[in-house]
A and B are shown apart, each in its own frame.
Chain A
Amino acid sequence: MKLQVDTIRVSDLQFGEKTEYRDGVLYVSKEDILVFASQESCFDTLKIDIARPGESVRIINVVDVVQPRCKVSDNIDWPGVLTEECEITGSGITRAVEGVGITLCQNNTYWSRKWGSYDMSGECAAINPYAKMPQLVIEPMLKESSDFREYREGVRRIGFKTSVMLARATLVAEPEHQEIFDNERQYPELPSIAYSYQIYSKQYDTQNYREPMLYGNAVPDTFPLIMQPTEILDGAISPCGGFRCVTTYEIQNHPVIVELMRRHGKDLNFAGVIITVTSVEAKHRILVSKMAANLLKEVFKADGLIVTKGVGGASTLCVGSIASEAEKLGIRAVPIIQILNGKSNLGVECLISEPNVDSIVCSGTYYHNFTLPPVETLLGGPIDALYLSGDDGVIGGHTIATGDPAIGQVRSTYMKQVGLLSQVGYSYGKAVDY
């Protein structure tokens, strides 16, 4: 499948009377976004702000960051999420807007066990791609009676509708850059690399709510699926709910898929993508990893494999198992994993224990801690919201809140900083012994 992505870079984001693109500036009308909210039964209203690089702003309760994108060709935007009707994404033309992001917050902290935050200035902002562009921060205010499942899906719909609206506003201007993603023609003489993408783990669900991540469908215990790489770049997969160290923005610009596509036919052959989920039972894990390795060998004829995971330890065991099974079949495998500890050493903290997995990228420890100074403006929650640490949140139905006021000096882990640790390899960190 062939996907053309037309990119335009905007110089600024500002509120305006109407949503439009003029002289390099993207103007957004709050009224236009409030129209989306009026269609959602679980919101009273939306709080909409713009946060700019360098400002003393902290955004809390972040569940997602989205890039403005829309289909230019005759296709559905976000099939299965914005529509009941479904079509396979990943072909035709898509408009992508660079230089601006949409940050989605859920204003009830206790509805998620995993949430994110980030600052627009300071130590973390210096290494955070999202803090380097103006962000439209949308915080839907829930009604008392709202159900958290509806709320989460409503937040996502509003974010995606806004994404489409902003991208469409830029269609008045010609794109600055066009890129074609296409791996249809295969180059068997080049080293053939496949990608195994673990998109979900049910272990972090709240009250058994299965995140509808694949065309708006839940995927709790699926077996390996073959998907087109362009499908993934074009809206087939999106998180919904608690922050799991990967954003829609990172999936839209999926760094493994984009780089394999760009190098396809040059120094490698991009064989294809399989999708997996975290197994919570050993029996399932064994079958998933053997099936994945078998598909990689028999269908993709892969020589090499990149494997990425979702948040957590069980997810690491699963990607380790896939990498190990692939290596047994002669496929060179590199998983990208993280360290789940801060007070230890790398010699004992690799959760993959199969000795034949000896080529690993480590994109950091979750528990590198920061002390962040007070901020002037807090977005994403009430002014008196607490900055929940890894020890807080709704855990097992029990609210634990020992955090400091979020507007004051806070301590944060690396994993809580949206943009600093990306499960799909978008981030630049690496864990090092001190």
Chain B
Amino acid sequence: MEKAKWRVVCYINQLFAQIGGEEMAHVGFGLSEKAIGPALLFESLLKDECEVVGTVYCGDNYFAENSDKAAEEGLALVKRFKPDLFIAGPAFNAGRYGVSCANMVSAVAKELGIPTVTGMYPENPAVDMCRKDTYIVKTAILASDLRKAAPKMASIGLRLLKKEHIGSAESEGYIYRDIILNEEQPYNAAHRAIEMVLDKIHGRPFTSELLPPVFDVVEPAPPVADISKIKLALVSDGGLIPEANPDKLKPNGSTSWGHYDWNTLIGEKHFVIHSGYDGTFVLENPYRLLPVDVLRELVAEKKLGSLDPEVYIACGNCASVSASKRKGEEIAARLHANGIQAVILTST
């Protein structure tokens, strides 16, 4: 018996659905029970194993102005077709179209749990909204790139259906999804390094396998004029936590943090979860990590206004930049809510 074809649903905007141009960007959702616009191309690329059972479309402005509701509305239409694969766009460098594609692929992936693919120009602002949830094939700025981008999108979509391996971002032409994996090379790292240094000395072109990142510049806050009036808190990435580990910190790659009353923390069972340093010295004397003792003396001498009885603890080992940023924002929000005016950050 011939195997049933996989059901594909495409999403496009009003322009590609040939409803009209910018003047029709306000129109709401519509659907067609066949492939229309770019979906025709996907239908022909996938015809052996898939069938485009429907095309959902929407005006760019309608989506942009009602984005939460619109994604829900669009999802309901997509669901009706019981798709196995969802293809949105490609949106090229169109900002609003990008946003609607991003919302649609994220909603479909999350709610229906089926593979999704879209396409965008790497600088489309919608890229960061969905690159981790889907495969965004890199396109050029203009729609004339459709014939180049669509086969890549179709190929990734088909292999996702077949649960086949999808190669690296560079080899497949999609935008990285924040997954780093290792690939075995023809030469070991020592040989690659020797070749690279010789290329550099001889002025020959070479490709560095990694480059220093360009970090955000953080303006330091102005100094505290008079510490005798302020409430101070201690924040550390040293991983000193209660034995029960209520906030589920991890020895490395931790994405959570906790705040603990100092007296309770050291009065009860505690340990150092950070696996990037030998915690022996901290366990011997926890004040080495968080100088609560000295700060309390300063409070008693009225040199320091007051000290937050809680300490704020994260575990900095192998933490990703994005997770650290989020943890920092959460800790800062809590400090703010507690009326803290200054912090001392201790590290290990």
Query: Could you list which residues of chain A lie within 8 angstroms of chain B, going by C-beta atoms?
Result: 113, 127, 191, 193, 202-208, 255-256, 259-260, 263, 267-268, 280, 303-306, 312-314, 320, 332-337, 339-350, 352-355, 357-368, 390-393, 395-398, 400, 414, 422, 424-434
Contact = CB atoms under 8 A, between A and B. Distances in A.
A395 B210 CA distance: 31
Interface stretch (B22-30, B249-257, B304-312, B328-336): B249-257
Interface stretch (B8-16, B46-54, B77-85, B315-323): B315-323
A430 B202 contact: no
B2 interface: no
B321 to A, nearest CB: 5
A360 B208 contact: yes
Interface centre among A333, A355, A395 (most CB of B within 10 A): A395
B250 A430 contact: no
Contact of B187 (A335, A354, A422, A428): A428
B190 A425 contact: yes
Contact of A395 (B188, B271, B318): B271
Contact of A364 (B182, B193, B280, B319): B182
The 6 nearest A-B residue pairs measured at CB: A396-B272, A396-B279, A425-B190, A398-B271, A255-B190, A433-B176
Contact of B197 (A127, A334, A433): A334
A132 B322 CA distance: 39
A260 to B, nearest CB: 7
A347 B193 CA distance: 20
Nearest to A350: B210
B91 interface: no
Contact of B180 (A306, A398, A432): A432
Contacts of A357: 212
A224 B279 CA distance: 27
B212 A397 contact: no
Contacts of B196: 334, 359, 361
B213 interface: yes
Contacts of B279: 395-397
B169 A366 contact: no
B318 A433 contact: no
Contacts of A353: 212-213, 215
Interface in B251-301: 251-253, 271-283
B209 A191 contact: no
Nearest to B171: A432
Interface in B198-214: 198, 200-202, 206, 208-213
10 contacts: A334-B196, A346-B176, A360-B208, A366-B318, A368-B180, A390-B252, A395-B271, A395-B272, A429-B185, A434-B168
Given A255-B189, A359-B208, A431-B180, 9 more contacts: A207-B278, A256-B194, A268-B198, A320-B212, A361-B193, A390-B252, A395-B271, A395-B279, A397-B283
Nearest to A207: B280
B212 A191 contact: no
B181 interface: yes
A156 B322 CA distance: 41
- Interface secondary structure of A, over-half rule: loop
A345 B176 contact: yes
B34 interface: no
A285 B272 CA distance: 25
B197 A359 contact: yes
B285 to A, nearest CB: 13
B168 to A, nearest CB: 4
Nearest to A434: B179
Given A191-B201, A368-B181, A362 B209 contact: yes
Nearest to B187: A428
A304 B199 CA distance: 10
B176 A255 contact: no
Contacts of A263: 194
B184 interface: yes
A368 B193 contact: no
B180 A427 contact: no
A312 B276 contact: yes
